[in-house]
Every structure is written in C-alpha cells, then in structure tokens.
Structure 1
Amino acid sequence: MASTNVKAKSGNRIAVMFDGKQVGACKSVALHDSYNLEVVAGIGDIHVIEHVPTQAVYSLQIEAIVLEKEQLRSAGITTVDGDDALVGRVFDIVVIGKDTGEEIRKYMGCSYDSGDIRITANQVVSTSASFKALRVSGIGA
C-alpha cells in the first residue's frame, strides 16, 4: 500500500501573501526578528547579569521574479518614489502552508523600507524588497 512521507516544510508547499494576494513569483523570503538585547552588567564585574530586550524589530527580505502583470510595484506593495512613500501605506505579509492553509508566520502593519531591481545579461529580471513590520504572530517554521 502506498503512503505519503511528508515531514519537512518545503518552499514548494508554502505561499507568501501580500495584503491578501499572492504576487508574482517569490524566489525567497527571509524573516528576521530582533529584540535588540542590551547587556546588564555592574561596575567591577565582567559577567553579564541579564540581556534586556529594548525594542522589537521585525523585518523581511523578499526576492522575486519580475513578471509582466504581477509586479510588487503595480500591486502597491513597493513604492514608486519618495512622495509615494509618504502615503504611509501598511499591509500584512503572511506565510501560509499551501497543503493545510496553516498560517506559518504573519507580519502585520508592514511598510516598504528599501529595494532594488537586478538586470543581468541572459537572466530573468528580479527584484528584492525589504519591509519592516509592527507586529508578528504565528509559531511555524
């Protein structure tokens, strides 16, 4: 009798949703959470007493293939120029398991921070974008 052997999470079975829709072809998504720990130590003692979280910083780095119709910019995910950046647009980025619909990680109140477009001879045009989020949820991955 045949059976299914699926034990590891795979990029082939994960979707990245920007503001509720899947945009273009994501090549990679790097999720980074930092709590900016500050060392607490006393005068005359080199040993650390505690690491105190001072600020929660949630950031994401997306790399995507530029498609003709489904670009991050045309979807309003990345900004066009400095004036567009002043609009204050925020949205959610959610990483979802395609098989189960499970929310692996959700970044809420995301703002576009920076990005670039990579044009190389004999290769598909790609873009990368960095985002900052206000909140995060989900325990997956």
Structure 2
Amino acid sequence: MTNERLKADAAMLMDALNDQLAGIAELQKKRMQLVGTASVCDKRIHVTVNATGVLIDTRFADDIGDLTFDEIAAAMTEAVQAAAADVERKGRELTEPLLDRKARLPKLSELVEGVPELGTPAPLTPPAAAAPDGSVENSRPRSVVAEQDW
C-alpha cells in the first residue's frame, strides 16, 4: 500500500513538474515579446524598450525644439529608465501565476522522508549602474531567481 502511494505521489509530482516546465517555456516566449513604454516632458518624448530593456523606438513630438539639448538628454535617460521599469513590472506580472502554482506543489521532502530541500534562495545580483559615473543610485538588488525560478 505504501509503495503504491509513493508511486502515485511520484507520478503526480512528475506530471506537475512537466506542466511547470511547459509553463516556463511558454512564459519565456511571452516574456521576450514584452515591451515597455514611457512618455516624458508632457509627452514630447516617447520611448519603447524590449524585454531586456534595450531601447527599440524613440518618438519626438513636433515641439521637441522647445527643449534644450540638456533637457532632451536628461528626459531621454528618464524615459528609458521608466520604460525599462515598465517592462520589468510586466515581466513580474507575467510570472506570478506560474510562481503561485509552484508554491502550491508539494515539496519533495514532504513526499519522501529525509530528502533535503532543493529550493534554497539564490544570491542577489548587485545592482547595475544607474548613472554615468557607475553609481547605483536609484537601483536595487535583483534576485537571480526572479525571472528564472518558475
């Protein structure tokens, strides 16, 4: 009886793992199609970044000439950073259902006595520079797992 229960639990866990892996693959496809956008300076500057935060489109309004070059440069930096934050937020929202489903799965240690836990948190990556001098002002550490531990 115990052996049959163990087999059934293992089969259920394998099915859940296969579902999770399929979900991750689908999620990765969807995530790579995400874009983030931002408009600044009363919508005079509008930018779009791809899923990795790379600037892929810039639009200037007809009255962009009312701004100085320094104002345009500062606004571009602000807009690209805001668009990158937008795409990062969308990516987190996309992964939430999969992470919730993962959290509901039984842990291997709950099924097999004595098996160690494998889900230790990954170390945080240091924040990327957010200013030209290499400072990390307005940055925060990101978990390596945040986008990959689905």
Pairwise TM-score range, normalised by the shorter structure: under 0.3
User: Structure 2 length as normaliser, TM-score?
Assistant: 0.23
The higher radius of gyration belongs to 2
User: Structure 1 length as normaliser, TM-score?
Assistant: 0.23
Compare the two structures and name the one with the higher strand fraction: 1
Q: Which has the higher contact order (CA 8 A, sep 6+)?
A: 1
